[in-house]
């Protein structure tokens, strides 16, 4: 049976990276404590290399790995880290002795909860290329270790916000990936719990989740105010079984994200739940109205071609992978050539704007991320435009770089749309839309065609 060793990177006198209100050693421990509790819930044997803010030498750390369950191939080691260096997205580094299967599965699951991925890769020791660069790979026997870099704390993109607000979603994604890789039955967690961290008190936790200290103690059968770091506390209670069209609000949720995930509008959800504000509370049960996108005329079809993947297709139509999966009733991220996918019509530009390209010759020191950044593109844009199946580049390789050409983009108004929501989705203003379409008011008709 698979056994797990969780390694919260850094600790003690070694803080790791820090910036933008994030200290790596602390965030690593938060993620690791969450995983530790989840693996226990799933019945998977698990140990941690550190459970407090302590200093570990590389030797002490690898000794703890090997002493947890022995030097065995069925031991998976998850070393949790936060990146720095100005990039954006998640990376997974796996050992030279292992395949990329687990690493890529972790990246797939992180993609599905909204985090973009850079690459899964191996790194060799320059002085001896037969050995791994990182000691957690090199000195852990025959175990299967992966280093998970969840994002960049100095990212110019959305990593900083996501690391602060969505780290538990990322931790859950890794738990799911490891469970499914290990053929262990996986039960989705209902996120109505909070993991105690250093400096917490019952009062501060109760305030954070808009409940009283008495409610918090009653939910957890506490008889004192004493807490332990890593302790799991219920912060809400579901007192009735959920219906198919219901959703339980969890930490970090907002109406906009929930509406987007279900393919409806914020106003749809507010009307269905008689909400007068956009405020939500943890544990609140929302009724989700049926999506407006149901009829054949509301979608186009896309034929999967060689080199495509779920993430690149979703990204090209400004969808999340989970939205694309839900819309097509997919149960996994695997695609086959010539497979037909439905694309919501509201995510389709009626006239393609990228019609030209320039060529770029890869030089020493280039990465697909740096090239994409220089041209103001996403990594997935370059990969899909060049039919790349890996982010690895070679010196002298010629890449096609899409160049925007002036064109007309139109949008077909659907139920629940407003000029404000359309302007926001296309990064423009209401006044600009009114001017382009000679509108004298903000009233729209379903089926009306707007020039963007």
Domain extent listing, the chain? 3-181, 238-292, 296-347, 354-404, 410-451
Give CA–CA dist 431/443, Å, rounded: 13
Residues 6+ apart with CB under 8 A from 128: none
Q: Residue 26 has what pLDDT? A: 94
Q: Residue 428 has what pLDDT? A: 73
CATH ID of 296-347, from 3.30.565.10, 3.10.350.10, 3.90.260.10, 3.40.50.300 = 3.10.350.10
Q: Residue 249 has what pLDDT? A: 75
Of 235, 229, 232, 231, nearest to 213 (Cα)? 235
Q: What is the mean pLDDT of each run of 10 residues along the chain (452 residues)?
A: 96 93 94 91 92 94 96 97 94 96 93 86 94 96 97 92 89 94 78 72 76 78 83 63 66 74 77 78 73 46 80 75 79 83 60 56 84 74 72 82 57 72 72 80 72 74
H/E stretch holding 79 reads strand 75-83
Going by the DSSP 8-state scheme, the letter that residue 111 receives in this structure is: H
Residue 11 · residue 25 · CB < 8 Å: yes
CA distances from 212 to 208, 225, 238 (A): 10, 13, 17
Q: Residue 236 has what pLDDT? A: 64
Helix, strand, coil % over all residues of the chain, rounded to 5: 30, 20, 45
410-451 classified as CATH 3.10.350.10: yes
Same CATH topology for 3-181 and 238-292: the answer is: no
Class of domain 238-292: alpha beta
Task: Indicate the pTM of the whole model.
Answer: 0.48
CA distances from 310 to 302, 322, 334, 408 (A): 12, 9, 7, 27
Q: Residue 406 has what pLDDT? A: 45
Q: Residue 345 has what pLDDT? A: 56
Q: Residue 244 has what pLDDT? A: 59
H/E stretch holding 369 reads helix 368-374
Going by the DSSP 8-state scheme, the letter that residue 398 receives in this structure is: E
Q: Residue 317 has what pLDDT? A: 73
Q: Which residue has the tokens 């002298």?
A: 396
Pairing of strands 128-132, 124-125: antiparallel
Residue positions counted in the chain: 452
Q: Which residue has the tokens 């509201």?
A: 346
CATH code linked to domain 354-404: 3.10.350.10
Measured between its terminal Cα atoms, the distance across the chain in Å is 56
Going by the DSSP 8-state scheme, the letter that residue 11 receives in this structure is: B
Q: Residue 96 has what pLDDT? A: 97
CATH code linked to domain 3-181: 3.40.630.40
- Is residue 97 exposed (0-12), middle (13-18) or buried (19+ Cβ within 10 Å)? middle
Residue 432 · residue 423 · CB < 8 Å: yes
Give CA–CA dist 118/449, Å, rounded: 37
Compute the half-sphere exposure of residue 361: CA atoms within 13 Å on the CB side of its CA: 2
């Amino acid at each position: 049976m698979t056994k797990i060793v969780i390694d919260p990177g850094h600790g003690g006198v070694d803080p790791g990276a820090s910036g933008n209100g994030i200290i790596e050693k602390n965030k690593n421990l938060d993620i690791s404590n969450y995983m530790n509790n989840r693996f226990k819930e799933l019945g998977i044997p698990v140990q941690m290399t550190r459970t407090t803010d302590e200093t570990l030498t590389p030797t002490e750390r690898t000794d703890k790995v090997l002493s947890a369950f022995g030097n065995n191939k069925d031991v998976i080691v998850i070393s949790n880290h936060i990146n720095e260096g100005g990039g954006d997205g998640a990376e997974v580094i796996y050992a030279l002795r292992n395949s990329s299967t687990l690493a890529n599965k972790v990246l797939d699951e992180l993609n599905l909860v909204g985090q973009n991925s850079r690459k899964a890769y191996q790194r060799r020791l320059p002085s001896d290329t037969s050995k791994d660069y990182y000691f957690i790979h090199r000195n852990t026997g025959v175990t299967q270790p992966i280093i998970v870099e969840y994002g960049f704390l100095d990212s110019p993109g959305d990593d900083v916000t996501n690391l602060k607000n969505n780290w538990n979603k990322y931790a859950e994604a890794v738990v799911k990936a490891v469970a499914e890789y290990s053929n262990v039955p996986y039960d989705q967690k209902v996120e109505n719990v909070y993991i105690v961290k250093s400096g917490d008190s019952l009062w501060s936790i109760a305030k954070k989740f808009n409940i009283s200290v008495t409610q918090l103690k009653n939910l957890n059968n506490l008889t004192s105010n004493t807490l332990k770091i890593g302790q799991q506390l219920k912060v809400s209670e579901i007192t009735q079984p959920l219906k198919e069209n219901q959703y339980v609000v969890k930490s970090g949720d907002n109406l906009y994200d929930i509406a987007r995930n279900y393919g409806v509008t914020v106003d749809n959800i507010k009307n269905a739940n008689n909400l007068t504000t956009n405020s939500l509370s943890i544990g609140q049960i929302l009724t989700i109205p049926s999506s407006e996108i149901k009829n054949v005329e509301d979608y186009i079809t896309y034929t999967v071609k060689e080199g495509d993947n779920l993430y690149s297709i979703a990204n090209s139509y400004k969808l999340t992978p989970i939205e694309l999966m839900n819309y097509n009733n997919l149960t996994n991220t695997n695609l086959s050539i010539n497979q037909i996918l439905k694309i919501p019509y509201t995510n389709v530009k009626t006239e393609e704007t990228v019609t030209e390209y320039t060529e770029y010759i890869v030089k020493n020191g280039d990465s697909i991320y740096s090239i994409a950044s220089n041209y103001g593109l996403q990594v997935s844009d370059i990969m899909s435009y060049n039919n790349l199946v890996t982010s690895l580049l070679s010196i002298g390789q010629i890449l096609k770089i899409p160049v925007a050409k002036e064109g007309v983009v139109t949008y077909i108004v659907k139920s629940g749309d407003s000029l404000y929501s359309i302007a926001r989705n296309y990064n423009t203003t209401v006044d600009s839309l009114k001017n382009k379409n000679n509108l004298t008011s903000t009233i729209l008709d379903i089926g009306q065609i707007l020039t963007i």
